[in-house]
Amino acid sequence: MKGKEITVVFYERRFHREDWRFNVDDRALENSLADLALELARFGIELKIGRKETVSLDVRGYGDLLNTIRIRSPRDGISNICLGHIIGPSPLRDLIEDLRRGVNRVAFAPETIEPEGDAKVVCHNCGCGC
């Protein structure tokens, strides 16, 4: 795994619903990712963090919030997949835990992530038997 690079990119969020809002603690997210970067570095994986402020996505629920976080890992053929696609439904809606789970999945089991678009027609060798 030496030389693997994973980038987490945060898109701007627009909360539209008056009856639903999720308090995103950006400082706690950054601290958690800094800790995760240190853990991954022991395995030769570099974790980078970015923001894409030119893209703003509507958030109407927790699933949309997960879509505002994208993960990239060129070595694994993951160009820009949203966190929700990587982890699926979140039973606890704990953004820090969900982000750690998604990054670790990309880091250690990228073959278990369902491909997007045209790549879906080819088996991604996850053991599902397709």
Total domains in the chain come to 1
Residue-wise pLDDT tens digits, 13-33: 999 888 888 888 989 999 999
The pLDDT, as a whole number, for residue 1 is 61
Distance of CA 124 to the CA centre of its chain: 19
Virtual CA dihedral for 12, 18, 93, 126, nearest 10 degrees?
-60
pLDDT band for position 130 (50/70/90)? very low
Sheet with 4-15, side-by-side order of all strands: 45-59, 4-15, 69-73, 78-82
Is 127 inside any structural domain? no
The alpha carbons of the chain give a radius of gyration, in whole angstroms, of 15
The pLDDT, as a whole number, for residue 114 is 84
What CATH number corresponds to the domain at position 101?
3.40.30
| pTM assigned to the model | 0.86
pLDDT band for position 6 (50/70/90)? very high
Which amino acid, residue 57?
L
Is 130 inside any structural domain? no
Is 9 inside any structural domain? yes
CA angle, residues 45, 46, 47, in degrees to nearest 5: 115
| Residue 113 pLDDT > 70 | yes
Half-sphere exposure of 116 (CA within 13 A, CB side): 12
The pLDDT, as a whole number, for residue 2 is 72
| Residue 127 pLDDT > 80 | no
Is 44 inside any structural domain? yes
Distance of CA 57 to the CA centre of its chain: 15
Q: Which of 51, 12, 47 is nearest to 33 (CA)?
A: 47
User: What percentage of the chain has pLDDT greater than the value 90?
Assistant: 69
Range of the domain at 31: 4-121
Residue-wise pLDDT tens digits, 7-18: 999 999 999 888
Is 128 inside any structural domain? no
Gap between the Cα atoms of 44 and 20, Å rounded: 40
